[in-house]
Structure 1
Amino acid sequence: MITVFQYPRLLGIPNMSPFCLKLEAWLRMVGIKYDIREVADPRKGPKGKLPFIKDDELEIADTSMIIDYLKKQHSIQIDDHLSASDRAIALAFERMLSEHLYWALLYNRWVDDNWVKTKEALFSTLPAVLKGIVPAVAQKNIKNELDGQGMGRHSREEIYDFANQDLKAISDFLADKPYLMGDKPSTVDATLYAFLCNILEVHLRSPMKDYLHKCKNLLAYNERMGQQLFPDFFKLDESDEAWSTEH
């Protein structure tokens, strides 16, 4: 059994890091058993980031690299039904979510009006002497990352416009399909669910959340995936089928 090292469960969702949630969602999709070790400091990871896994004595970091490793180790076939063209499209959506929408999500929590709630969720257990120092340093580092990536150099309105363009593209492509790439789930669904959950299910204001409430197919997708994958967090209606790796 592998051990997953990830952030503590906060804000009422399985994980407030879309990358940690992506990994755990994928593990549940493919039926790999795992243990969780909660880690508050990402610097403890082999690449200074979370999540990472330990398989016996082998440590692997970066969600995509972890998934690629586990696919080979366990002969996982969740993406085998995808054509070459499908794989290219799925990869493009993966990159859009992880390398573009992610930065708008980061801005929403660490810079915009939600910073007070984010600070309370992440740093409330710090000793009093550190509460005035650590959050300020962490926020400054995030702002520097946002500026370095480029998203932080735009206005608030521009940032959310970029994000909502991403969400519109996803909604348009999903249309009335049960999963992003068709009738069967694939790895990209773990990524998409992780981001939708982190926007829709946390009690934080967001123009992205406002926009998603206009996208009925993404609302239904998020609810369906949450009930299937995390019934321990989101109540499973009697009319819904439990998740099966045979789907």
Structure 2
Amino acid sequence: MGVGRSGNLRAQVAKGKVTRHASRSNMANCNCFFCLPSPSEGNSWKSTALCLLGGAALASASIVFVSRIWEKFRQKNTVYPEDTVVLHQFQRAKHVPSLSPFCLKLETFLRMHNIPYMTILDSPLSSKGKMPWIQFNQSRVEDATFSVMFLSETFHIEVNGMSGSVTSQQKAMSRAVVSLVEESLYWTVAYCRWVDHVDQTRAELPYDGVLKFVVPWMMAGIILREMYAHGIGKNSREELYSIMEGDLKALSDLLGEQSFILGERPCEADCSLFGVLAQIMWTLPGTRAEALVKGEYINLANYCIRMRELFWPDWSRIVTEKH
């Protein structure tokens, strides 16, 4: 029985007569990194650059993956202080404490109710693949909404994070505002950030090198897929901005001249609203979202400044520290 051409080639390789990349004809049929052809061989720099970028992205992803595995192992064996909430979240950003509205919401809630806490930055994602998540003594709670519920019960805070006696109508209104902010406005702001104005977002990221380009590219794909699955992503760009404007108008009208969204006392709804509005106020310069908040709906901008001054007196220090 004959060994065939491939068998003969393997035999020659074994004898050292032929190496895999010894001839230009072999290289022409190879797609590995070391045999990338030059432009003079009939290929454009564009395809070569894409291959190089892909290799760099893969290397970066591998480094991140290994570091996350190590961090997860390290945290599993870390003993945290008793009766202190451990808040796991993303790295700090340049102009806001977090580019995640949900991380900013939860940390604002902790500050609003003077709950002792410590932060673990750039922590591994929860088992749900989300941030933030918390630990408290022997308890572990994932997702900002369930964390607020857990904290409200543990620290005897009224439903929806409202202090003092509240009516059923106020509780219902708080829940309605949270739903509006997190199920509608959030998506249009995410689209504005990761898809429509990615250059501004890239400048906010706490990364250097190739990750500064890879992360926005990955996030754009994730956001678009999640928006489509949600349903809101089936709308056009103009329709999305129309939804955003309608949401901002409704929130502006509801706020009016009040100190907080439901009156003179802050609640969970304020944490949710601040988490999203802060992204518009301080991370999306020159966008339609910023123009709306700082223009037609200026009371929302004043509200953001008021929330920051009240619950984040150390804001400037936090965003300028190197983490």
- Aligned pair 1:90/2:174, yes or no? yes
Match of 2:135 in 1: 54
* Larger radius of gyration between Structure 1 and Structure 2: 2
Q: CA deviation at 1:40?
A: 5.9
In structure 1, C-alpha distance between the alignment counterparts of 2:153 and 2:128, rounded to whole Å: 21
Taking structure 2 as the reference length, what is the TM-score of the superposition? 0.66
Unpaired runs of at least 5, structure 2? 1-83, 318-323
SS of residue paired to 1:101:
helix
CA deviation map 1:211-241 (0-9, x unaligned) = 1122232121111111111111159xxxxxx
Q: CA deviation at 1:203?
A: 4.5
* Alpha carbons 1:109, 1:118 under 8 Å: kept: yes
Change (3 A) 1:136 1:162: same
Q: Which has the higher helix share?
A: 2
SS of residue paired to 2:283:
coil
CA deviation map 1:58-103 (0-9, x unaligned) = 2111111101111111112452432111111111110010011111
Change (3 A) 1:218 1:117: closer
Counterpart of 1:18 (choices 101, 111, 124) is 101
Counterpart of 1:171 (choices 231, 240, 252) is 252
* Alpha carbons 2:86, 2:120 under 8 Å: kept: yes
Match of 2:237 in 1: 156
Unpaired runs of at least 5, structure 1? 236-247
Change (3 A) 1:81 1:216: farther
- Aligned pair 1:108/2:189, yes or no? no
Change (3 A) 1:193 1:138: closer
How many residues in Structure 1 have an aligned counterpart in Structure 2? 230
- For 1:38, the aligned partner's letter is L
In structure 1, C-alpha distance between the alignment counterparts of 2:215 and 2:301, rounded to whole Å: 36
- Aligned pair 1:183/2:267, yes or no? no
RMSD between aligned residues: 2.1
Q: CA deviation at 1:120?
A: 5.1
Taking structure 1 as the reference length, what is the TM-score of the superposition? 0.85
Q: CA deviation at 1:27?
A: 0.5
Match of 2:291 in 1: 210
* Alpha carbons 1:46, 1:59 under 8 Å: kept: no
